[in-house]
Amino acid sequence: MIDDRCRYSVLVASLLAGVMLLACSRSPETENKPPETANQPAQPGPAPAPAPKVWSLASAAAPYRGVALRTIGESLPPLEAMAKLTEKFEKSTGIEVTIEMYEHSEAVNKVMLDLNSRRGRYDFILQPHRELGRFVTNKHVLPLDRFMNDAKLRDPSFKPGEQLYQKQWKEISWYDGNVYGFPFTALTMYLWYRVDLLEDPQERAGFAAKYGREMAVPTTWQQYSDLAAWFYRPDKKFYGTAIQGKRHEALWYEWLNVLYSFGGDMLDIETGSECGPVVVNSPEAIEALEYYKGLMKYSPPDTRNYFWDDLMALMQQGKVFQVLMWNDATYAVEDAKQSKVAGKLGFAVTPQGKGGKVGQVEGWTYLIPAYSKHPEAAYLFIQWMMAFEQQLEQHLNGGASSRPDVYADPKVSEISYSQASMDTMAVARPKPTIPESPQLTEILVRELSIALAGKKTPKQALDTAAREMSQLLGSCAPLKYPVQ
């Protein structure tokens, strides 16, 4: 009897101990999940076990000495800044890094061909996050858990759960609850305007006389178009604004700012990896497109043939008063060697409408292809690039970091556009990253371009887009608004 009781007590005690151990431990998946708190640094997660005695990059990279890594990305200042940093990594690890730089679409297409050929040309890739869904669902990219939980590879001081903007990280590099990368650039669009003209006494007096209010940084779309109208001086080859009207992804990205702030959206979803009802032809969306099209009146004559490079060039030449542009392009317009208006610009969050203060977040993300020949060495490089020193250096040379401590650095605070970038990130909204996302973009780009060309009304164009988007996505994306 006593023996039975003893045995019973031991069993119960063991069970209790087991339950307590389970409660105290955390699964790798839970560890890598960012908390839901928007844009707030997360609480630190536990370091991977078993922890090595002393972790160093040199010792972690020792097995991969002599390896040559190859990557690909968009030829813009952030990648050029990364290229300058690689030498430091190569010296300390003996791992060589080769970077291929291409125009946006070319960089995406080359990666698609490489992934589908399964040749493994690239050991890690830099891609826009709208591509993430198709990469993940086709098993083209590796989840990073296996590297992050490997004590030999994981730098204990790298704690993405607390060192990165969580909302951005989740939006840019996560899919369906799993982490696949880290943000290469956390991109957003905001307002660029000519502060020297805005503060010019003559301009201010003239504007006040015409509009009955002081000239100020536009916070609403009405104010934005009033300023565009005021500064529209085609006889002097100076324009109130310019839109990115070319049949190109740029058109879609730019219009999303207007769409979101007018209270519209493409799909009725909460996170990028969801599928939901199509709402791109809502009354708010139609109103947003009508407004956007109206801005052509104050734009240069070739505005339907512009994309981001053209707008940047126009601003650099001092031909336009205000535009909506990307944070990773701001570096070039504030560089006196390249720009006539360096130091004469102001930056602010995109004007708001019924949808409130909102921005669209986009980003390029580091990913490791499933066919990478050296995934561990690639992880080491990515992890090294995400460290504060490299992020700061890259950000100061045209990058767009996703680390809050980089923005807190005094050197970064001095940059004229840092505040606008951070303010917009704080109100950024997710966009679809499902496998069909690039096709949804293609449909919308075509229909937006047709609407701008005047071949369809905004309603007709968005109805067509909604119908095609619903057909493409199938039963998960019924039409919420009727189409004609």
Partner 1 sequence: MKKPKSIGAALATAVWDRGVGVAFLVPGLILLTVILVGPFMTTIGLSFTDLSYALPDRDGNFVGFDNYRRLMRDDPVFWQSVITTLQFVAVAVAVEFVLGFAVALLLSAHIRRRRVVLTLFLVPMMLAPVAVGLIWKLMLQGDFGMLTHYLRTVGLLGEQTAVFSDPDLALAAVILIDIWQWTPFVTLVMLAGLLSLPREPYEAAIMDGAGRFRIFRDITVPLLRPVIALVLLLRGIDAFKEFDKIYILTGGGPGTATELLSVYTWRVNFRDWDLGYGAVCAFMVYLVVLILSAACHTAMTYARGASGNEGRRG
Residues that bind partner 1 (CB under 8 A): 109, 112, 116, 134, 137-138, 234, 237, 245-248, 300-305, 314, 319, 435-436, 438-439, 442, 446, 449-456
Q: Amino acid identity of 21? A: L
Yes or no: say if 445 and 248 are a contact pair by the CB < 8 Å rule.
yes
What's the rounded Cα separation, in Å, for the pair 353 and 153?
47
CB of 38 to partner 1, least distance (A): 30
CB of 343 to partner 1, least distance (A): 24
Cα angle 429, 221, 421; round to 5: 45
CB of 442 to partner 1, least distance (A): 6
Nearer to partner 1, 69 or 320 (CB): 320
Nearer to partner 1, 41 or 133 (CB): 133
Nearer to partner 1, 132 or 428 (CB): 132
Nearer to partner 1, 44 or 234 (CB): 234
Any residues with CB less than 8 A from the CB of 69 and at least 6 apart, and which?
95, 96, 97, 98, 123, 124, 374, 377, 378, 381
What's the rounded Cα separation, in Å, for the pair 82 and 74?
12
Any residues with CB less than 8 A from the CB of 128 and at least 6 apart, and which?
104, 108, 362, 363, 364, 365
Nearer to partner 1, 14 or 305 (CB): 305
Nearer to partner 1, 187 or 461 (CB): 461
What's the rounded Cα separation, in Å, for the pair 320 and 231?
8
CB of 456 to partner 1, least distance (A): 8
Structure tokens at 377: 């060495």
CB of 142 to partner 1, least distance (A): 16
CB of 476 to partner 1, least distance (A): 13
What's the rounded Cα separation, in Å, for the pair 2 and 478?
68
Structure tokens at 81: 């800044």
Nearer to partner 1, 151 or 296 (CB): 296
CB of 454 to partner 1, least distance (A): 7
